[in-house]
Amino acid sequence: MPRFQPKNPDFRRAATAVFDAQPAMHTLRISIARLDAGEVELAMPYSAAFAQQNGFVHAGIITAGLDNACGIAAYTLMAPGAAILTVEFKTNLLAPAKGERFLFRAEVIKPGRTLTFCEARAFAFDGAKESLVATMTGTLMALTPRAQRAEKEATDSALA
Amino acid sequence: MPRFQPKNPDFRRAATAVFDAQPAMHTLRISIARLDAGEVELAMPYSAAFAQQNGFVHAGIITAGLDNACGIAAYTLMAPGAAILTVEFKTNLLAPAKGERFLFRAEVIKPGRTLTFCEARAFAFDGAKESLVATMTGTLMALTPRAQRAEKEATDSALA
Amino acid sequence: MPRFQPKNPDFRRAATAVFDAQPAMHTLRISIARLDAGEVELAMPYSAAFAQQNGFVHAGIITAGLDNACGIAAYTLMAPGAAILTVEFKTNLLAPAKGERFLFRAEVIKPGRTLTFCEARAFAFDGAKESLVATMTGTLMALTPRAQRAEKEATDSALA
Amino acid sequence: MPRFQPKNPDFRRAATAVFDAQPAMHTLRISIARLDAGEVELAMPYSAAFAQQNGFVHAGIITAGLDNACGIAAYTLMAPGAAILTVEFKTNLLAPAKGERFLFRAEVIKPGRTLTFCEARAFAFDGAKESLVATMTGTLMALTPRAQRAEKEATDSALA
């Protein structure tokens, strides 16, 4: 039984479209491994181009995966046509991001009309070893089409 | 008058070496714009390859810049030979990261033997417009050569 | 010159009323020391009843002061009739909260129609010594009278 | 099977002693409801003296309970004689803290020689209704007797 009742019956296609529209995800070779209402897993292979000084994946790149997992998980529960933005997140780095591949697992803890709260964890797979490398808690915001118009008008008028 | 008294007289070279050793910084085209004891500014040009769905820079990439600014700022005050790792950070995203170039400005608020606390801000430059797009507070940890050996031995023995 | 233009000309009275309506502030003997548009200072004397195991003020009590400073600072910039709630905050504890009195200084960094971002610092005064003991970054939310009605109706109907 | 192997065979007594030594816990009427290696539940009755402007428990008081739950959970896994301090925490407030009693449930996610990472949740019980009102992620630090001496000597010499 699903924990959440999505407002958008077509949530899989909508969330996938938001994910696919992000060049950063392609560049980082992050892909959707699993997608359900309020739950997402993203996968990423190791890439030396995104390492820090010890050859492990940079904390910012791990954060990009965690943030996107939270965003897509939140987006599955938003109304059709909503835009999404990240308000804030906190990342705790628990172990070096050392491995051949990585998994970012996010779930919605509290959905809301405006704000959605998510939690996510990053795992590294190093041979047979799996380890928890980082956690995230984050707040995501839904912008309805009306709010997007109001925002755009405010911006246009501010620029005029 | 400098706010901080670095323990490492050669802190500029040491901090620059840690920065240069990170492939992720090269890949993201982030460079050191200014470096002082406890203070750092990093610069990054816009790159469409790291955009989110609206063409703005992805929050994870902004976070990579902020985290590295905090790390390098903290590293300038650490003892010679120390290794550095990020314990945690929180990012608040205040405006879309829209611009041709970006600046990540970090400063040490409280240095410590083991833990250093930093604050950082990310600014976007969009034509003549400068805007604050994100803030970070973060905790960095110094690992002395002795602690690095103890860690390595513990790991080697755990793997044996 | 004020940094912010308050929407509520009567913001001092409104913000003071929200502060005074909180029994927790009276119990903790926290008072308003300074109040401006987007800026607040709260003061608190030491009380042994709120100490942790070493006799210093408990981190949760320091957080109560920081959170309220953020909330009141944010409230000075909200529209008349708005209700305010805290979305999230992060506290970094930099030194023991040791002193006879404490100051919580908050300022709005980014006001918004719905969300306001604030930063705050807690200082301890121990004889002649002043020290920074903690920092907070926090997100506050404005609920307009309309949003408050919608929320109440949703709750009433959920309870029916 | 316990998830964690405590270093201190007498961890229950040691953790309870740290809890009991905190006047703030007595004043807030917070008590230990359950205590295991790496896991703690604290209970608190509602008290109007610690309410905010709507009669709900103040976010700072909820944070005091969450922080202490994290601290005691972390302390159960620390070596005998260690002192503990909170480095940082983030609280997300998900619903009004409305109820007759409250539960703060914390668990250690990653123990470490120096730093321990914990997660905690606050629940409100309002008649038959249980709701998740807040979450915390936090970093706790162990100070060994040696580190405490070094700290004290540094302080004494700084004061001389």
DSSP secondary structure string for all residues of C85-133: EEEEEEEEE-S---SSEEEEEEEEEE--SSEEEEEEEEEEEETTEEEEE
Label residue C152 by pLDDT band (50, 70, 90): low
Q: Residue C66: in which H helix or E strand, if any? A: helix C59-75
Residue from the list B27, B52, B87 with its beta carbon closest to the beta carbon of A93:
B87
DSSP characters over D21-74: T-HHHHHTT-EEEEEETTEEEEEEE--GGGB-TTSSBPHHHHHHHHHHHHHHHH
On chain C, the residues whose CB falls within 8 A of the CB of A114 are 114, 141
Statement: residue A149 has pLDDT above 50: yes
**A/D interface, count of CB pairs below 8 Å:** 30
| Sheet strand arrangement including A101-110 | A31-36, A39-45, A101-110, A115-126, A129-143, A83-93, B83-93, B129-143, B115-126, B101-110, B39-45, B31-36
- C neighbours by CB contacts (3+ pairs under 8 Å): A, B, D
Q: Give the chain B residue nearest A56 (alpha carbons).
A: B22
Cβ–Cβ of D51/C24 closer than 8 Å? Answer: yes
Q: Residue C17: in which H helix or E strand, if any? A: helix C11-20
pLDDT at D2: 59
According to DSSP, residue A25 is labeled H
Mean pLDDT of chain D: 93
- How close D47 comes to chain B (CA, Å)? 32
Mean pLDDT of chain A: 93
Label residue A89 by pLDDT band (50, 70, 90): very high
| 3-state helix/strand/coil string of A52-103 | CCCCCECHHHHHHHHHHHHHHHHHCCCCCCCEEEEEEEEEEECCCCCCCEEE
pLDDT at D29: 98
- How close A5 comes to chain B (CA, Å)? 25
Predicted TM-score of the model (pTM): 0.94
What Cα–Cα distance (Å) separates residue D30 from each residue in C29, D23, D45, D103?
Answer: 20, 10, 8, 9
Cβ–Cβ of B23/A48 closer than 8 Å? Answer: yes
CA neighbours within 13 Å on the CB side: how many for D128?
Answer: 1
How confident is the model over C47-72, as a mean pLDDT? Answer: 97
* CA B9, chain centre distance (Å): 20
Q: Are D32 and D51 in contact (CB under 8 A)?
A: no
Label residue C147 by pLDDT band (50, 70, 90): confident
pLDDT at D152: 60
Q: Are D88 and B88 in contact (CB under 8 A)?
A: yes
Label residue D3 by pLDDT band (50, 70, 90): confident
Q: Which residues of B touch chain D, with CB atoms under 8 Å apart?
A: 87-88, 90, 114-115, 139, 141
Q: Which residues of A touch chain C, with CB atoms under 8 Å apart?
A: 87-88, 90, 114-115, 139, 141
Per DSSP bridges, beta strands D39-45 and A129-143 are unpaired
On chain C, the residues whose CB falls within 8 A of the CB of A87 are 87, 115, 139
Label residue C154 by pLDDT band (50, 70, 90): low
Cβ–Cβ of A139/C114 closer than 8 Å? Answer: no
- Residues B46, B42: Cα–Cα separation, whole Å: 13
* CA B143, chain centre distance (Å): 16
pLDDT at B160: 39
Per DSSP bridges, beta strands B129-143 and B115-126 are antiparallel
Taking the alpha carbons at both ends of chain A, their separation in whole angstroms is: 52
Residue predicted with more confidence, B150 or A34: A34
Statement: residue B140 has pLDDT above 70: yes
- Residues D6, D59: Cα–Cα separation, whole Å: 32
Per DSSP bridges, beta strands A83-93 and A129-143 are antiparallel
pLDDT at A159: 43
How confident is the model over D12-37, as a mean pLDDT? Answer: 98
Q: Residue A45: in which H helix or E strand, if any? A: strand A39-45
Q: Which residues 6+ apart lie within 8 Å of C116 measured at CB? A: C74, C77, C78, C108, C110, C139, C140, C141, C142
pLDDT at D60: 97
pLDDT at B5: 93
pLDDT at C160: 39
Residue A62's nearest CA partner among D128, C21, B24, D29 is B24
On chain D, the residues whose CB falls within 8 A of the CB of B90 are 90
How confident is the model over C9-38, as a mean pLDDT? Answer: 98
Residue from the list C18, C67, C87 with its beta carbon closest to the beta carbon of D60:
C67
Mean pLDDT of chain C: 93
pLDDT at C158: 42
According to DSSP, residue B56 is labeled S
- Residues A64, B59: Cα–Cα separation, whole Å: 7
- Residues D29, D9: Cα–Cα separation, whole Å: 28
On chain A, the residues whose CB falls within 8 A of the CB of D95 are 110
Statement: residue C159 has pLDDT above 50: no
pLDDT at B4: 92
Statement: residue B158 has pLDDT above 50: no
How confident is the model over C145-151, as a mean pLDDT? Answer: 71
Side chain identity at B77, as an amino acid letter? L
Across A99-117, b (16+ Cβ under 10 Å) vs e yields beebbbbbbbbbbbebbbb
Cβ–Cβ of A52/B22 closer than 8 Å? Answer: yes
Q: Which residues 6+ apart lie within 8 Å of B61 measured at CB? A: A24, A60, A64, B28, B50, B97
3-state DSSP assignment of residue B15:
helix
Give me A38's structure tokens: 């309020």
Among C82-91, C151-160, D143-152, which is the least confidently predicted range? C151-160
How confident is the model over D130-134, as a mean pLDDT? Answer: 97
pLDDT tens per residue across span B48-98: 999 999 999 999 999 999 999 999 999 999 999 999 999 999 999 999 999
- How close A156 comes to chain C (CA, Å)? 16
- How close C115 comes to chain A (CA, Å)? 9
- Residues C157, D132: Cα–Cα separation, whole Å: 20
3-state DSSP assignment of residue A17:
helix
**B/D interface, count of CB pairs below 8 Å:** 15
- Residues D73, C114: Cα–Cα separation, whole Å: 36
How confident is the model over C108-123, as a mean pLDDT? Answer: 97
Which residues, listed in sequence order, are joined to residue D40 by a DSSP beta bridge?
D35, D106
On chain B, the residues whose CB falls within 8 A of the CB of D88 are 88, 139
How confident is the model over B134-159, as a mean pLDDT? Answer: 75
Residue from the list A22, A48, A90 with its beta carbon closest to the beta carbon of B88:
A90
**Residue position matching structure tokens 């703005």:** B56
How confident is the model over C9-28, as a mean pLDDT? Answer: 98
pLDDT at A143: 92
Residues above pLDDT 90, as percent of chain A: 88
Positive or negative: CA dihedral B35, B50, B60, B97: positive
Residue from the list B21, B65, B88 with its beta carbon closest to the beta carbon of A93:
B88
Q: Are D84 and D69 in contact (CB under 8 A)?
A: no
Side chain identity at A3, as an amino acid letter? R
3-state DSSP assignment of residue B138:
strand
pLDDT tens per residue across span D29-45: 999 999 999 999 999 99
Q: Give the chain D residue nearest A136 (alpha carbons).
A: D137
- Residues C57, C64: Cα–Cα separation, whole Å: 11
